[in-house]
Amino acid sequence: MTTEVTGAGSASSPHPGPSGQAPDQRSRGGRRGDAEQVRRTRELSTGFIVSRIAVLGIVAALLIYALPPLIQTEAWTALVVVGVVTALVAYLYLTPRHIPAKYLVPGTIFLIAFAIVPIVLTFVTAFTNFGDGHRGTKEEAIRAIETSSVTQVPGSPEYYLTIAERDGEMVFLLVDPATKAVQAGTAAGLTPVDGAEVSLTGKVLTAAGYTVIPTAQAAERDAEIAAFSVPTPGGAVKATGLSRAFEGKADKSYDAACDCVTSPSGGRWVADEVEGYFVDAEGKHLDQGWKVDVGFANFTKALTDPTISGHFLNVLIWNFVFALSAVATTFALGMIVALALHSPRVRGTKFYRILLILPYAMPGFAMLLIWRDMFNTDFGLISKLFGVHDWLGTPTTARLGLIVINLWMGFPYMFLVITGALQAVPRELTDAARIDGASAWAGFRRVTLPLVLVALTPLLISSFGFNFNNFNNIKLVTNGGPYAIDNSTVGATDLLISYTYRVAGFDSGVADFGFAAAISVFIFAIVATVSTVAFWRSRAQEEVYS
C-alpha cells in the first residue's frame, strides 16, 4: 500500500506555472509530508531499520574493501564507478522517494555487472590479438625483452653483497669471493674500501665510514635495491637477492629512433604494429609481444580459414542435434515421471521424488567422470552389460552416449519444474475434459500439455541455451573425440564451444583470447537468434491459450 500512496502522490503532483519556484517547493514540501506519514508508520518496525542498516553496511563495506586495491593499481575509472554506484545505492535507500527504483536498482546493477559488462568486454576483446604473448603493452614487452637479455659479463666476479649506507645514500659493499677485496658501489661507480671486516660467508660486518644495514631493514627497501645499479666499464652491478651481486649487461636494448630492438651482436628486430611483435629481417619474432587492435581479423579468420570454417557447419549441425535432443529427452522423461507421480493414486511420492532428485544433487563433474569410466571399452559397466564395444571411440555411439549421460544429468531438473507447473493446472479442467469424453491421452495432449508449456517454454529455451554451450559434458566425457585419423582439429562430438576452446589454444595452454572472443560472438548471435524466435513464438502461444 505504501508504495501506491507515495507513487500516486508524486505522479499526480502539480507543477503549476513556468515560474513556479515557490509553488514547486511547496508541492515538494507537501509530498514530504505524505512521505513522512508513510515513514512514521514504517519507523515503528525496528526490523526495518536494522535490515536497512545491515544492507547499506554491506554496501559500504564492499566499497571500503574495494578502495585500497583500486587505488593501488590506479584504476581510477573503476574507482569512480564503484564510488558512484555506492553513493547511488546509499542515496536511494536513505531517501523516502524513488520507490520503484528501490526495487529495480539491485537487479539492474547485477544485470549490468554480470551480463552486460562481460558481453561488452567479449566484443571489445574480439577486435584485439589479446592472448598469450600479447597480454601487455608495448612498454611492458620492451622491459621484459631487455630484462631477460641481461647476462653476466664474462669473467666478472660473482660478488657477495652487503647493503650499507653512507651519508644517507645507499651503497653496495661488494666482496670478491676469490680475493676478499672489498669495494663500495654507488651510482658513481666502484671504489675500493680498506680495512673492512668480512665474515667467513662474505658478509661485510663493519667498514669505516659505512653503516651496514641489517637484513631485515634492507628487506623493507626492496624496490630501492632492485632499482640500484652500479655502473662499470663492462655493464652494471646489480643485486641478486640481498646477499649476492653480479656484473651484468643487457644484450638487447630498445631504440626509439628506429622503433626497434637492437643487439650489439648484430640482431635487429623492428616493431610490427599489426602483429604486435618485434620482427627481424627473416620474419622471426622475439618471444615477447604486445596487444594490438586487429580490426575484424579474428572474425574473417573464423569465416575464411579453411581449417576452421571447413568444419564449422558440421559442428553446428551436431551442436543443434545435441542441444535439441538434450532438451527433448530430458523434457520427455521429466514429464513422464512428473505425470506418474502427479497421479493421486501413487503412494510414497515424497520418497520417489527424493530418489529422482539425487542425480541433480550430486556434483556434476564427478558424475561425468564416472559415466566416462562406465563407457570404458574393456573395464566399463556398459561393456559388461551390452558386450565389449569402443563406445566413446565410435562416432555414433559416442554421440548417443553423450545424450544418454545428459539425459541422466538433466531430467531431474525438468521433473522438478514440470511437477511445479502441474500443480498449477486446475484439476477441474482435466476432469471436465474427461467428462466431455476425452481419452487420457487427448486430455493430456489438449489440456495439460498446453497449459504446462505456457509456464515452461521460457525454461525450455534457457535449457536449450545451456545445452547449446554444454562444455562440461563434452570436455569431461569425450573431449570432443573420437577424431578422424586425418583431422585432429575437430572431433565427432565437438560442440562449438569445445571446438572454440581447442582452436583458441586453451587446451594447449597457449591461449588466444581475441579469437576465442570472436567465436563467442558468433555463438552469442546464434543462441540469441534462436531464443528470440522461440520467445516470440511462445508469446503467440500464450495469447492463444490464456
Counting contacts by CB under 8 A, is residue 186 touching other proteins? no
Counting contacts by CB under 8 A, is residue 84 touching other proteins? no
Counting contacts by CB under 8 A, is residue 73 touching other proteins? yes
Cell numbers standing for residue 341: 507421480
CA 312 to chain centre: 25
**Closer to other proteins at the Cβ: 470 or 478?**
478
Residue 247 vs residues 226, 239, 299: alpha-carbon distances, Å: 14, 9, 49
Count of residues in contact with other proteins, rule CB under 8 A: 94
Separation CA 475–CA 498 (nearest Å): 7
Binding other proteins by CB under 8 A: which of 26, 180, 221, 445?
221
Counting contacts by CB under 8 A, is residue 253 touching other proteins? no
C-beta of residue 129 within 8 angstroms of C-beta of residue 276 = yes
Binding other proteins by CB under 8 A: which of 128, 288, 329, 493?
288
Q: What is the CA radius of gyration of the chain?
A: 35
Q: What's the closest the beta carbon of residue 100 comes to other proteins, in angstroms?
A: 20
Binding-residue pattern over the window 310 to 349 for other proteins, x denoting contact by CB under 8 A: ----------------------------------------
Binding other proteins by CB under 8 A: which of 84, 124, 366, 510?
510
Counting contacts by CB under 8 A, is residue 242 touching other proteins? yes
**Closer to other proteins at the Cβ: 18 or 47?**
47
Binding-residue pattern over the window 427 to 466 for other proteins, x denoting contact by CB under 8 A: ----------------------------------------
Please list every residue from 32 through 61 that binds other proteins, using CB under 8 A. 32, 35-36, 39-40, 43, 49, 52-54, 56-61
**Short-list 506, 484, 485, CA closest to 493:** 484
Counting contacts by CB under 8 A, is residue 474 touching other proteins? no
DSSP assigned state of 448:
I
Please list every residue from 111 through 150 that binds other proteins, using CB under 8 A. 132-133, 135-136, 140-141, 143-144, 147-150
Please list every residue from 222 through 241 that binds other proteins, using CB under 8 A. 222-226, 239-241
- Gap between the terminal Cα atoms of the chain: 29
Residue 55 vs residues 52, 90, 208: alpha-carbon distances, Å: 5, 10, 63
Q: Are strands 244-250 and 235-240 parallel, antiparallel or unpaired?
A: antiparallel
As beta bridge partners, residue 285 has: 279
DSSP assigned state of 116:
I
- HSE-CB of 161 using CA atoms within 13 angstroms: 25
Binding other proteins by CB under 8 A: which of 13, 191, 199, 215?
215
Counting contacts by CB under 8 A, is residue 165 touching other proteins? no
Binding other proteins by CB under 8 A: which of 262, 507, 523, 541?
507
* Placement of cell 578422424 in the chain: 484
Identify the H or E element spanning 426.
Answer: none
Cell numbers standing for residue 16: 503549476
Neighbours of 107 (CB within 10 A): 9
**Closer to other proteins at the Cβ: 373 or 542?**
373
Separation CA 533–CA 253 (nearest Å): 58
Instruction: From 114-122, 316-324, 430-438, 499-507, give the range in contact with other proteins by CB under 8 A.
Output: 499-507
Q: What's the closest the beta carbon of residue 156 comes to other proteins, in angstroms?
A: 11
Separation CA 90–CA 60 (nearest Å): 8
